[in-house]
Chain A
Amino acid sequence: GENVEQHPSTLSVQEGDSAVIKCTYSDSASNYFPWYKQELGKGPQLIIDIRSNVGEKKDQRIAVTLNKTAKHFSLHITETQPEDSAVYFCAASGWGGADGLTFGKGTHLIIQP
């Protein structure tokens, strides 16, 4: 089955700086890679996703890159703000998510004021 590794487990950055979270996956058949943000006491919330037919996708301050050859993908957050503090999860799936997602262990992002 699929295995997703996520690093770092904790990331502390100064407000206004950029944050990068990296993930690798094992199954070359995976073709869908979403990122979720989870705040305390809430369910994971989808913030951005990318499919295997593109290498990069951007939505305002958030961007995701995918390298299918190396089987890794990354989340980039620019101009970080206090409300970006949360736990972020990467995930991978085949069939566009229809068979469920395999998640990384999460990154606790702390934005220092």
Chain B
Amino acid sequence: DAGVIQSPRHEVTEMGQEVTLRCKPISGHNSLFWYRQTMMRGLELLIYFNNNVPIDDSGMPEDRFSAKMPNASFSTLKIQPSEPRDSAVYFCAFLTGSGNTIYFGEGSWLTVV
């Protein structure tokens, strides 16, 4: 987890507001993943990128969700407009080239009221 910096760590926002979550992975990764964790649904893959290109976004729940990776060192997950059911922990993870293992960040805890 030391290889991924996520921000904000905690956010409380009102329904209808735009939320932007950020992820800075260490350099040298091949793929980057966004996961969502809730008590009801567990850990769900939302989208992943390979070499900064979105490969599979079938896990994105609705059009309100979007993700970008403008360069190898930065990715964002945006929710617009946010709803209370979006409340969850959002994790960024990356796949290293050596050993092919996936490492997670510490997560962004989102509460939409």
Q: List the interface of chain A (C-beta within 8 A of B).
A: 32, 34, 36, 42-46, 49, 89, 96-106
Contact = CB atoms under 8 A, between A and B. Distances in A.
Contacts, number: 52
B42 A104 contact: yes
A101 B44 CA distance: 9
A43 B105 contact: yes
B45 A102 contact: yes
A35 to B, nearest CB: 11
A1 to B, nearest CB: 9
Contact of B102 (A97, A105, A106): A97
Most buried by B among A36, A42, A98, A105: A98
B64 to A, nearest CB: 21
Interface in B87-113: 91, 93, 95, 100-107
A46 B42 contact: no
A71 B91 CA distance: 28
A51 to B, nearest CB: 9
Contacts of A34: 101-102
A97 B95 contact: yes
B45 A100 contact: yes
A98 B30 contact: yes
A24 B103 CA distance: 22
A106 B101 CA distance: 19
A42 B9 CA distance: 10
A48 to B, nearest CB: 10
26 contacts: A32-B100, A42-B1, A42-B106, A42-B107, A43-B4, A43-B104, A44-B104, A45-B1, A45-B104, A46-B101, A46-B102, A49-B101, A89-B42, A96-B100, A97-B95, A97-B101, A97-B102, A98-B50, A99-B48, A100-B33, A100-B45, A101-B45, A101-B102, A102-B45, A104-B42, A105-B42
B11 interface: no
A96 B43 CA distance: 18
Given A97-B101, A101-B102, A43 B91 contact: yes
